[in-house]
Amino acid sequence: MSPEDYCYNFAAPPGSDFRYSLLGLPLKRRQALLALKAFCLETAQIVSECQDAGVARVKLDWWQAEVGRLFAGEPQHPVTRALRGPLADFNLPEEYFREILDGITMDLDYDAYPNFSGLMVYLHRRGSVPALLAAEILGYQDRRATPRFAHEAGIALILFDFLYDARRHAQCGRLYWPEEEMERYGIKASDLLAPQTTERLRQLFAFQAERIRHHYAQSLTHLPTMDRYTQYHLLIRLDLAKALLEEIAEDGYRLLEQRTSLPPLRKLWLAWRLRRREKLHRRRLPVVA
């Protein structure tokens, strides 16, 4: 199996949102995004799969060394071997990959955060940095506004993951909602392990959903018209998350009893419609001499 096939099978399984967000992308960009996603997944699962924190730190140290080998042109892992080409094609900075690893290390150092400000470093490393790398792969013209879009988009996407997988994260002993917000709604971490969504939990979930909507809206305000089509991969991921969020809200945020999902055909339709819309908008843009 080639490194590219490894990343495709690992990062974009059938029915995944990520798979639909690759619709119509040129091969080089698609393979680069798959390798980036595989890097994020491969390294993130270290913490969830290693019961021993010491073993997890040893593995993360290996990945820190592997990033060094990658940028020296001597990667060993299939994921980093798949990343070797994109580094040259898209000028991806080494410090971004190290920041992602630093974010994963935070999962070993912290199991809760006192307030939202304290969580922001983690959100930047695990949410914004991968989105910034994706934006570089996709390409853009506005060097100020579009990175701001990617920053906010990454936060929206990882906050959605926190909400959608709240019970799984709690089972792993990690709490990604600020303690002050949990206290405000009278929620303990153990409440997230019960297969029942109480009214207080529903209020907490609704509060988190509003924060996701806020960052979703903020991301769009930063994205300039000239870069909308090139960034449609991130826009599709945002739209699929937003559509699922509204389904969850309509269902009363019953995240602990069931796993709500969008049908594959609806995902395909949403992805195709968004790409087509942005393509038509690009054609209407004035030609710059």
50-89, pLDDT tens digit by residue?
878 899 899 999 999 999 999 999 999 999 999 999 998 9
CATH number at residue 127: 1.10.600.10
CA-CA distance, 50 to 56, in Å (whole number)? 6
3-class state of residue 187 by DSSP: coil
Whether residues 185 and 68 share a domain: the answer is no
- pLDDT of 289 reads 47
- pLDDT of 51 reads 77
Q: What is the maximum span of the chain, computed from C-alpha positions, in angstroms?
A: 61
Mean pLDDT (whole number) for 245-272: 94
Whether residues 124 and 241 share a domain: the answer is yes
Reading phi first (left if > 0) and then psi (alpha if -120 to 50, else beta), residue 23 is in beta
User: Residue 84's CB: how many other CB atoms inside 10 A?
Assistant: 16
Residue 215 lies in a domain: yes
Whether residues 79 and 176 share a domain: the answer is no
Q: For residues 34 and 12, is the Cβ–Cβ distance under 8 A?
A: yes
pTM of this structure: 0.94
Residue 289 lies in a domain: no
To 10 degrees, the CA torsion angle through 206, 210, 216, 220? 150
Whether residues 197 and 237 share a domain: the answer is yes
Mean pLDDT (whole number) for 190-217: 94
Which single residue is written with the structure tokens 């119509």?
24
Whether residues 179 and 44 share a domain: the answer is no
Whether residues 114 and 250 share a domain: the answer is yes
Rounded (5°) CA angle 162-152-278: 110
3-class state of residue 25 by DSSP: coil
Residue 169 lies in a domain: yes
Whether residues 148 and 40 share a domain: the answer is no
- pLDDT of 4 reads 95
3-class state of residue 258 by DSSP: coil
Whether residues 122 and 261 share a domain: the answer is yes
Share of the chain above pLDDT 90, in %: 79
To 10 degrees, the CA torsion angle through 95, 119, 46, 61? 40
Q: Which residues neighbour 54 within 8 Å (Cβ) at sequence distance 6 or greater?
A: none
CA-CA distance, 98 to 96, in Å (whole number)? 5
Whether residues 65 and 114 share a domain: the answer is no
Burial class (CB in 10 A: 0-12, 13-18, 19+), 161: middle
- pLDDT of 287 reads 58
Count how many domains the chain has.
2
Q: For residues 37 and 16, is the Cβ–Cβ distance under 8 A?
A: no
Whether residues 265 and 133 share a domain: the answer is yes
Closest CA to 123 of 94, 74, 161: 161
CA-CA distance, 112 to 184, in Å (whole number)? 15
Residue type, 218: Q
CA-CA distance, 197 to 200, in Å (whole number)? 8
* Full residue range of the structural domain in which residue 4 is found: 1-91
Domain's final residue, options 64, 91, 118:
91
